[in-house]
Chains A and B, each alone.
Chain A
Amino acid sequence: MPTVSYAHQFDYIYDPQRGEPFPVLLLQIMSPDHPGQAIDIDAYLDSGAQRSLFDGRIGTALGFDLFGGPEIRYVSIAGTGLAARLHRVRLAHPALGSFELEVGFSTVPISRNLLGRDFFNLVQVGFRERYLVFYVTPTP
């Protein structure tokens, strides 16, 4: 059985509204073409999501032409879904470095940004739900 050594430990971010901590990575997102318009955001670690998804309005605030990207649909387990547009972003974190990734930006408002398996392909993530921490190390 392989053993993974992690470089960084993160506490879940506590949401006092709900009284619950959530596995959220606070990171910086930017358009590679407009790095001066970066935004720090919360992104939920969602290993059930095939691809990362961000609110499209954040994409607009980053300088993207939202509808200029290729269309893609995100579908939930109930079959309902939403349309999104793909754009290449740079995600950066002081402990993890920066990554370029093609992610979806929703064409309708959403309340959570999701980091999916495309992100997990770039970093190794381990959850320790009982202790409300997760571990991350850049994937070699």
Chain B
Amino acid sequence: MAADLSNETQENAKTEESTGEEQPQAIYRGRELEWRRTHGEVLRAFAGEWVILEGEEIIAHGDDPIRVVAEARAKGIKVPYLFHVEAIEKDVVRIGL
């Protein structure tokens, strides 16, 4: 496991203790997920692109994830968080493949 991950806290996970009570824990990439949740308008400008988000900052973006990841690494991001912003298409239902 890469170093950055070993130091991270749990994902958007809540661990079920033996008591049966859920113990909320810190969210892995929680800042990024919250930013994504609350910045839909900003992300709309990146529809169809791959985005690297670190905290609340877009580090790199573009059509080519190879270039986007390279750009983030060049900026010192050891483990970039890469995701694709899907374009909204009317009357489209997506399945896996």
Residues of A within 8 A of B (CB): 5-11, 13-19, 25-28, 30, 35-36, 38-42, 44, 46, 48-49, 53, 55, 57-58, 60-61, 74-77, 81-82, 90, 92-95, 98, 111-112, 114, 136
Measured CB to CB, the closest approach of chain A to B6, in angstroms, equals 8
Are A9 and B14 neighbours in the complex by a CB distance under 8 Å? Answer: yes
Are B13 and A81 neighbours in the complex by a CB distance under 8 Å? Answer: no
Bound Cα distance from A14 to B64, whole angstroms: 24
Are B8 and A94 neighbours in the complex by a CB distance under 8 Å? Answer: yes
B interface bracket (residues with beta carbon within 8 Å of A): 35 or more
Please, which residue of chain B has its CB at the minimum distance from the CB of A28?
A: B5
Are A28 and B86 neighbours in the complex by a CB distance under 8 Å? Answer: no
A-B contact pairs, 7 of them (CB 8 A): A9-B16, A16-B40, A26-B12, A28-B2, A58-B82, A95-B28, A112-B94
Q: Which residues of B in the span 77-94 have a Cβ within 8 Å of any Cβ on A?
A: 78-88, 94
From the candidates A14, A18, A40, name the one contacting B86 in the complex (CB within 8 A).
A18
Bound Cα distance from A14 to B2, whole angstroms: 26
Chain A residues with CB below 8 A from B11, complex form: 8, 10, 25-27, 93-95
Residues of B within 8 A of A (CB): 1-2, 4-6, 8-16, 22, 28-29, 33, 36-41, 43-44, 47, 64-66, 69-70, 78-88, 94-97
Measured CB to CB, the closest approach of chain A to B80, in angstroms, equals 6
Bound Cα distance from A90 to B6, whole angstroms: 14
Chain A residues with CB below 8 A from B28, complex form: 26, 93-95
A8-B16, A11-B12, A48-B96 provided; 17 other pairs, C-beta below 8 A?
A5-B16, A6-B16, A10-B13, A16-B40, A16-B41, A18-B88, A26-B12, A28-B5, A39-B69, A53-B97, A57-B64, A57-B65, A58-B65, A58-B82, A61-B69, A93-B28, A95-B28
